[in-house]
Structures are given as structure tokens and as C-alpha cells.
Structure 1
Amino acid sequence: MIALAAIERLLAEDAPSGDLTTTALGIGDAPARMAFRARDAMVPAGLDIAVRLVQAAGGTARLHGRDGTPAKPGDLLLTASGTAAALHRAWKSAQTLVEIASGIASATAAVAQAAAAVDPKVRVACTRKTVPGARFLSQLAVRAGGGILHRHGLSETILVFAEHRAFLPDLDLAGLAARLRAAEPEKSIAVEVHDVDAAIAAAAAGFDTVQLEKFAPEAVAAVAAAYAGLARAPLIAAAGGISPDNAAAYVAAGAGLLVTSWPYTARPRDVAVTLGPA
């Protein structure tokens, strides 16, 4: 749940000292109504926050769509009523938020559907590479699109990159795993690798997850074949360049998790807004 203070910041960002146009025209007290409709097919996201933006501005709002439930062109997403001042204040912030979040949700759903066509058990995990300050909204959209979160942040999970290993040049993968197990015995440990031999070594070292960075599907298949005879094989996470165009190929190659930032670059989905006298 997003805090009220965050909602108020979103409103203040667009109207720090009120709505000059509405005030100058003298229409602020006029009864008004507003409706959001999907202009194109989309997986909506951010609708609950849009409702709270209207409420914080002084209006009332009602949901007609739901985050994560696909909408067809023309489907009604929400309606609102209140004074013209209240609805004009909330209008653009709410519309833009829903459009951007729905773009991320729709893109996440496209990757998830491509993966599920091969194996419904394989999940799509979106990274923490969001616009700084907008992570909560981006992650909300990922969830609405059927994805999961790869990492909420650095404080939650252990994932060793080459940039970490550069500070410990004398420690091999087995040594790294042992150090991490000793330091954080209750945590799952993961490592990112860049070639098949390193992926095999990471499995032997006892890592729980091995993230294959920018591997071709054929290289993922080679890792999966190497893991096939292991009593306790790590989770294979394919990362780097995952999109709806190649998700199925990575799952078919043996990836058990798809890690992607692609949905964050998705084009916003258009929301048609009508706002006028009640």
C-alpha cells in the first residue's frame, strides 16, 4: 500500500500551488465527472493509486477495471466525481501513472505468456533497474502483469557479480559460496556467470541459483545438460535481453527463471479520459 504522503507528493508535483487555469476561469466549484477508458488492449495497472489521487484531491472515485485483469479497447476503467477543481488537479497525474504502469504490466504479461506457452511453471522476474524513485510503482505494474520481482533491492538477496569477485581475486567460487554460507546461513545464494564452464563450477560450489548473463539459448541448453545428472542442481536463471521474442526459446533450452528489465522500457498504454460538467 502506497503511503498517503506519497500520494500527496504526486499531486503536489503537478500542482504545487493549485491549478492556475481552473482558478482563473472561476470554474473550480462546478460539479464535474471524469471517466478513464482503455483506448487499446492492455493489462491495467495503477488503478488503485489513481483512485487515491482523486480522493486526495477532494473527489470520489469508483473502480470499474482491476489491476492485472486484461481490458479491451473502450473498456471503462474508473469513474470519478467532485468539483472541477478536484478532478482537474488529479486528472493528469492519475492518467499518466495508469498509462505508464499499464505499459509495464502489459509488457510483463507478454513475456510471461510467451514463457508459459512452453512451461507454465517458469516465472518472469523483473530486475531492480527501475527509474530511481519510481521503484514501487514499477514493481506494482510488474505484479499486475503476472511477473515477480527478481530483487526488491540490495538489502534483500545475495547475488554475486563479477564486480564483487574483483575484490577477492584469490577466492574461487567454492570459497565464495563457503564465505556466504558462513556469513548468512539462512539466505539463498546466487552468482552471475558469463560462460558455460563458470556455470558448471558454480553448481559444484553449491550456489542455489546460477544466473546466466547474456547466454544464447544454445549455451543455456548446454548448462541444463550439464546439470541434468546432479542430485541438487541450481536454478538456472537466464538474464540479459529477455523479451517476448525469445522467452520461449530460453524456457525450451532449460531456463527455470527468466530475469528481465525489458518491461521497464515499454511504451505507455493510452487511456482515454473524459472530464466535464456533471
Structure 2
Amino acid sequence: MNPYTLTDAELEALLADDTPAGDATTHALGIGQQLGTMLCRARHDMVLCGSEEARRMGELRGLTVFGPVRASGERLAAGETILTLEGEAAALHQVWKTAQTLMEYLSGIATSAGEIVAAAHRGNPEIGVACTRKNFPGTKRAAIKAVLSGGASPHRLSLSETLLVFAEHRVFLGNEKPADTVRRLRRQWPERAIVVEVADENEALAWLLADADILQLEKWPVEAVHRIKQHIAPGSRTRLAAAGGINSANAESYARAGADILVTSAPYFAPPRDVAVTLTAA
């Protein structure tokens, strides 16, 4: 199993949420045992995500996969088939809307992430794009899969595995000097990169002198990113992460200005990419 595919337990919970006491309409019509087919297609160009989950939802309800299933991360043109499921109408109706909606939302995130990555690489083919932990609460595993499918990476999976020093941390440090803070963090967590979010160029220079691994420049104009880049000596460990307001329209400019990493939340707010679903009777 792909490690970024949702588990059966998670998929069962999603299916149960839509049919907590069965499908009233299908039962009332008496059509549940009739055989049929569900065809899912991309309505518009998209980076696909969630097709593995859609397939597995079908299998969990006894449906059969007919033909190939397109993989998450594939770029689809409008009209291309994603997957086809066959089986009883009761199962098709149980799976239909949950599978469709999951693919639509995740493909929206993946497509947006892919657009930002493509724009950034036009400015610097070596730059990395990372997506924040600002996904809707409870959707982290699915959102991470979508981000990865779009060619980006997670910025912070959790508070437990990253060192990112905000001004909100530094208010509790008293008069401790930046170099002392970096030294203490490096001793405490020797395998972690030390990231410091800085508000202006004076703060950036102070933490650059302190040898921080990454300076996170929150909502900085492109010109200011470029000026700070000129202060970083060749071979320095310090990298620049431009964050706040990064999207496909400005990613190339920030990449050209010298940012090593772009940090963005934009994909989580992208519109879903429509998946067209057609049900037919056998």
C-alpha cells in the first residue's frame, strides 16, 4: 500500500458518515440489487489525487474495478477517465458522492501545489516548495498526500518534529542573544534544522550572524528578499524561506529573488477540481 493512502478504517469512517443508517432512497426504490457501472472522469485539466481511496472505497463495498485506475500525481486532461467501478446499485450509491468529493478536494490541493511548483521552478529549478500545516483540522493525512501529489512537500508535519522559532517564542527568552539561542537549540536537538521567522531586515541579519539554518521571511516584498540574499556568503549554511502570500502568480519572482524555499498555505484554499461521475444500469 502507498504509505500516503488513507487506511481502511479512515475510509470506512468517511463512508459511514454519509450513510449512518443506510441509503434511504435506494432502499425505498427497491433498486439496490440491480447491477450498474460508475465512471469517474476529470471534468477539467487537473493533477489527480485520491483515486486510490476512491478505488478502495468501492472494494470495501464489494464493487469491482474495471480497467486501469489513474494514479495520484498524474496530470489529466479534461475528459480523461480516472476509474470505473461495477457492481450493485446499493454499493455504487454508497460510494459515489464520498469518493467523488474526496477526489475533487484533494485534486484541487494537488493542482494548486503543482502550479506553484511549476512557477517557482521557472525562477529557479533547484528551489523547494513546502506547504504549511494550515490544512483544515482533521484532514492532515489526506492534505499531505495532495501536497505530495502536486510535487511540493510538507513544511511542518507537527510541532513535535520541527524547530521553528517565532517572535511569539522569543518574547519568553528575555535578553538571550540570538547566538546563544541557536547554540542552545543545536545542543538540545542536534539533528534538527533551526528555523527562525524574522519580521524585518535587522532581525534577519542578527539571526544570520547567529548561524540559524533557515530564515523564514514572513510576508516580505520580493526586493527585500533579494537584499538579504546578498548578505549570505557562498557556502553559508543559512537558507532563505519566503512565506506568507506565496502563490502561483508570485512564486517565480520570489525564486528569482534568491529564496531557497517557498512556504505556502495557498493550496489548501484552492477550489476543488470537478470530477464528473456517470452511473449507468447494466
Q: TM-score range by the shorter chain?
A: over 0.9
Selected match of 2:45 from 14, 19, 41: 41
Displacement of 1:64: 3.2
| Within-5 A mapping of 1:120-131 | 120-131=125-136
1:132 corresponds to: 137
1:194 corresponds to: 199
Between the aligned residues of both structures, percent identity stands at: 46
Selected match of 2:231 from 226, 231, 256: 226
Displacement of 1:230: 5.2
1:213 corresponds to: 218
2:77 corresponds to: 72
Note closer, same or farther for the CA distance 1:231–1:270 as it changes in structure 2 (3 Å cut).
closer
> Would you say the 8 A contact 1:36–1:76 is kept in 2?
yes
1:85 aligns with 2:87: no
1:118 corresponds to: 123
Task: Give the root-mean-square deviation of aligned CA atoms.
Answer: 1.1
CA distance in 2, matches of 1:269, 1:37: 11
Displacement of 1:231: 4.1
Give the secondary structure class of the aligned counterpart of 2:220.
coil
> Would you say the 8 A contact 1:11–1:57 is kept in 2?
no
CA distance in 2, matches of 1:202, 1:60: 58
1:185 corresponds to: 190
Read off the aligned partner of 2:157 and give its amino acid letter.
H
Report how many residues are paired.
277
Q: What CA deviation, in whole Å up to 9, does each residue of 1:193-250 have, x standing for no partner? A: 01112111112112111111111000000110011x2542411100000001100110
Tell me which moved more, 170-179 or 261-270: 170-179
Displacement of 1:100: 0.5
Read off the aligned partner of 1:66 and give its amino acid letter.
A
> Would you say the 8 A contact 2:51–2:69 is kept in 1?
no
CA distance in 2, matches of 1:154, 1:42: 32
Displacement of 1:276: 2.0
TM-score by length of 1: 0.97
Note closer, same or farther for the CA distance 1:217–1:53 as it changes in structure 2 (3 Å cut).
same
TM-score by length of 2: 0.96
Q: Gaps spanning 5+ residues in structure 2: where? A: none
> Would you say the 8 A contact 2:110–2:150 is kept in 1?
yes
Note closer, same or farther for the CA distance 1:73–1:230 as it changes in structure 2 (3 Å cut).
closer
CA distance in 2, matches of 1:14, 1:174: 54
Q: What CA deviation, in whole Å up to 9, does each residue of 1:21-59 have, x standing for no partner? A: 101111111111101001111111011111111111221
Q: What CA deviation, in whole Å up to 9, does each residue of 1:110-164 have, x standing for no partner? A: 1001011121111110000000000111111111111111111111111111111
CA distance in 2, matches of 1:233, 1:223: 14
Give the secondary structure class of the aligned counterpart of 1:128.
coil
CA distance in 2, matches of 1:231, 1:142: 30
2:209 corresponds to: 204
Q: What CA deviation, in whole Å up to 9, does each residue of 1:149-190 have, x standing for no partner? A: 111111111111111111112222112112211211222111
Q: What CA deviation, in whole Å up to 9, does each residue of 1:74-103 have, x standing for no partner? A: 000010011101110000000000000001
* Displaced runs of 4 or more, over 6 A: none
1:57 aligns with 2:56: no
CA distance in 2, matches of 1:156, 1:29: 50
CA distance in 1, matches of 2:219, 2:237: 20
Give the secondary structure class of the aligned counterpart of 1:226.
coil
> Would you say the 8 A contact 1:100–1:267 is kept in 2?
yes
1:105 corresponds to: 110
Give the secondary structure class of the aligned counterpart of 2:71.
coil
Read off the aligned partner of 2:275 and give its amino acid letter.
V
Q: Gaps spanning 5+ residues in structure 1: where? A: none
Give the secondary structure class of the aligned counterpart of 1:190.
strand
Give the secondary structure class of the aligned counterpart of 1:117.
helix
2:264 corresponds to: 260
1:250 aligns with 2:272: no
